Structure 1
């Protein structure tokens, strides 16, 4: 398919948004890179965008016909700001919306699940990406990555539960497919890596790749909630701790073929991502 319009990438400096914007511009697509500060992405037009400042929305939407949606971080009710924006986007001429959600949140579920539920009524062309937990949570700026570097510890309430962790590069590749391909819209896509791993497994791989000892400390959901509440709003902390409990109960112990099916190559495993993104020390 030849895409002639402009794609608005919200969160264009974030973990998936930066990768989506880079892939689109590299393929010759017109991109408007949106962020709270105008996002500097090579080859893209920067524009300031803040979910909580509706005055920034119209400029961001000018001339746009498709949009990659990253929900506002740390908001337990993102639909309150996202749905008015999406209604405005439809009026402004947006034809296709691709939403980043989570494998832990079904259509109609809490938080971004309400936005997922509303998309088919707003756009004829839509897709919802529901990736499992990001591998980059252990290599980037996430709390897990920080505690690994500072303490050599991963703190969770997941117990021995396993997760089909997925590489953000694979999420971005699927997102670009959903934004540009004729056959992707109208789909709910659960994305995983090639295997389900426990946080004990993750700690072992990081130890082997970096040469620095890393362990997984198991907390109760209540203690995990309290730990998170020091950094995020209480409602969001409770939701995240609840997701850890669900992992402990087996909710994320699965893999899918979505990355392979839509990109034509297998998803990357965690060891390969750790070797790519974490520096080995002696």
Structure 2
């Protein structure tokens, strides 16, 4: 039995689709089963509720061979530690108590760099990994580079203002990865019953790009000029809190951006295997995902 958490989210729904292509029974934890496509609901066992609820977890993890663990976004959390470690603690206990054999989660690159201890969301995600690893389950932490798909959050801004905004320097090169590649790697691991031990799996995509590089690609693919604009950290924080994010979580985003600017995402030496495992280029992602979203906006 494979258990998939957050099955209606950006990554979880892609993981679910991929594992359903295999021949293993699948169980999902979902607050609202109606959000699952009808064809999917008929093929999975549904445990309704939050995957932060110990009683829900006890039912969902009973008899589970493998679990895909993915946190829900909680912009109003009291701290990133609460959002990551606090939310995951009941799951870690259930993994141990219910004898889960293998766990795959999505975390961030950055472990081992000088910036990992002051990187906001990233620091908290690495602590979450340590909590899961401490249960003794076989564990693969998918240490993902920044997501290409995050650009979709600004598709309206790109269309109306011809600009992309962030707090990272325009010339900071870094790896980026498509969520569809993350989901493909996760599904392969969930369907594979042979692996043991605890490892981090860096997912870097096939290339390193700066924001200036990315907006040049976006401009070519969309056929309209798009520029990158660096936002002062305090201005970005004010925007985030204005949207309802807690002060602590907004500061965590800023700390993460500062750490990325310092080189947080550049600590893993790139090898040909990274392009094989996560092959989607930023240009291809723009053609397949961003361009249709831009045209529909």
- CA contact under 8 A between 2:138 and 2:195: conserved in structure 1? no
CA RMSD of aligned residues (A): 2.6
Hey, what does 1:31 align to over in structure 2?
A: 26
Match among 229, 237, 249 for residue 262 of structure 2: 249
Shift of 1:255: 6.4
Gaps of 5+ in 2: none
TM-score (norm 1): 0.85
TM-score (norm 2): 0.81
What is the rounded CA distance, in whole Å, between the counterparts of 1:19 and 1:258 in structure 2? 26
Hey, what does 2:50 align to over in structure 1?
A: 50
**Larger helix fraction of residues:** 2
Hey, what does 2:165 align to over in structure 1?
A: 155
Q: SS of 1:111's equivalent?
A: helix
Match among 191, 194, 210 for residue 180 of structure 1: 191
User: Relative to 1, partners in 2 of residues 1:124 and 1:33: Cα closer, same or farther, differing over 3 Å?
Assistant: closer
Shift of 1:260: 3.3
Shift of 1:184: 6.4
Q: How does 1:133-212 map to 2 (within 5 A)?
A: 133-139=146-152, 142=153, 144-159=154-169, 160-181=171-192, 182-183=194-195, 185-212=197-224
What is the rounded CA distance, in whole Å, between the counterparts of 1:235 and 1:150 in structure 2? 30
Shift of 1:60: 2.3
Hey, what does 1:219 align to over in structure 2?
A: 231
Gaps of 5+ in 1: 1-5
Size of the aligned set, in residue pairs, is 272
User: Relative to 1, partners in 2 of residues 1:29 and 1:204: Cα closer, same or farther, differing over 3 Å?
Assistant: same
Shift of 1:266: 5.6
Task: Specify which structure has the bigger relative contact order, considering alpha-carbon pairs within 8 angstroms and separated by 6 or more residues.
Answer: 2
Shift of 1:150: 4.5
User: Relative to 1, partners in 2 of residues 1:49 and 1:130: Cα closer, same or farther, differing over 3 Å?
Assistant: farther
Between 8-17 and 29-38, report the one with greater CA deviation: 29-38
